Each structure stands twice: as structure tokens, then as C-alpha cells.
Amino acid sequence: MTLLALLSLVSSLVFIVYGVFCAFTPSMVADFHRFGLDNLRILTGVLEILGGTGLLVGLKWRPALRLSSAGLALLMLCAFGVRLKMRDSVALSTPSFLLILLNVYILILARPQQP
């Protein structure tokens, strides 16, 4: 298994699980309420599930991998910005920051190769 495939699988699993959590766990409902973003909770979960699924598809079709990793990095940039705005602790802010780095790295590894 290549590094790109391993990182894509890890990121995919994280986002699919968190996407489901967005819809069903009381702690995520409470977090989105605290952020004042109740109306974006389901959309965020759907985007996470779609992005995670796109990473899996991208293992066979590279454009999906690039699009999904870029979209998830952007989604986590927004999440990190919300965490900073809410003045959340480093511990609460770190996961979104690490997921930005992970998906940007996947995007870099998935770039088209020069001839």
C-alpha cells in the first residue's frame, strides 16, 4: 500500500465517521448550537461523508482524490476558523488543523506527475 493510499484511507475513515456523528450525536448538536451554526450541522455532515467517499473513489480515479482532499481541507479551514473565533482550547482546535495538513498533503501527493 502506498503512502497516498494509506493517508487517503485514514482521512476517509475519519470524515465518514465524523459526518455520521454530525447527524446523530448530542455532543455535535451541542457544538453546532454553541457555534451558532445549527443550520449547517447536517450540511457539514453530508459534506464530510461525501468528501470521505470521494477520497475512496479517488484511489482509483485521481481527479476525485484531488477534489475531495481540497474540499475537505477547505471545510477544515472553516472549522479551524470557527474554533479560533470561539476561543476554543488548543486541544479542541488541533484536530481540524491536523486534518487541514493531512488533506493538503494528500492533495500534494495526488498532483499530476510531470512528464
Task: Note the pLDDT tens digit of each residue in 72-100.
Answer: 999 999 999 999 999 999 999 999 999 99
What pLDDT is attached to residue 23?
A: 86
> Does the pLDDT of residue 113 top 90, yes or no?
no
pLDDT at position 112: 83
- Residue 17 C-alpha cell reads as 465517521
Tens-digit pLDDT profile for residues 12-60: 999 999 999 998 899 999 999 999 999 999 999 999 999 999 999 999 9
Which of 46, 57, 54, 50 has its CA nearest to residue 21? 46
Asked whether the predicted pLDDT for residue 114 surpasses 80, the reply is no
DSSP 8-class letter at 114? P
Q: What Cα–Cα distance (Å) separates residue 67 from each residue in 26, 35, 114?
A: 30, 27, 19
Where helices occur in the chain by DSSP H, the ranges are 3-24, 26-35, 41-57, 62-85, 90-109
